[in-house]
């Protein structure tokens, strides 16, 4: 199966939360940890991936609402 990266984050927990949101909508997703850390309090960076055919739907689901974008 081919996977496409849609998000990279400095916090593994953040990628896992996004994965749960996508899975709840029926979109298969996976989190890949990147790098390593020698400090327990530092989070590992992570990559969130989805299948290529789900890329745009996943990006839309994870994007901020339009009202939030206009206020920023």
Q: What is the pLDDT of residues 34-71, one digit of tens each?
A: 876 555 555 679 999 999 999 999 999 999 877 655 66
> What is the value of pTM for the model shown?
0.78
Instruction: Provide the pLDDT for residue 39.
Output: 54
Distance CA 26, CA 10 (A): 25
Residue 61 contacts residue 27 (beta carbons within 8 Å): yes
Beta bridge partners of 53: none
Decide: 44 and 14 in contact? Cβ < 8 Å: no
């Amino acid at each position: 199966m081919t996977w496409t990266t849609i998000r990279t984050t400095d916090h593994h927990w953040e990628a896992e939360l996004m994965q749960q949101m996508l899975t709840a909508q029926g979109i298969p997703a996976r989190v890949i940890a990147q790098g390593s850390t020698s400090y327990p309090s530092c989070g590992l960076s992570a990559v969130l991936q989805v299948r290529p055919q789900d890329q745009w739907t996943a990006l839309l689901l994870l994007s901020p609402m339009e009202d939030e974008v206009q206020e920023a």
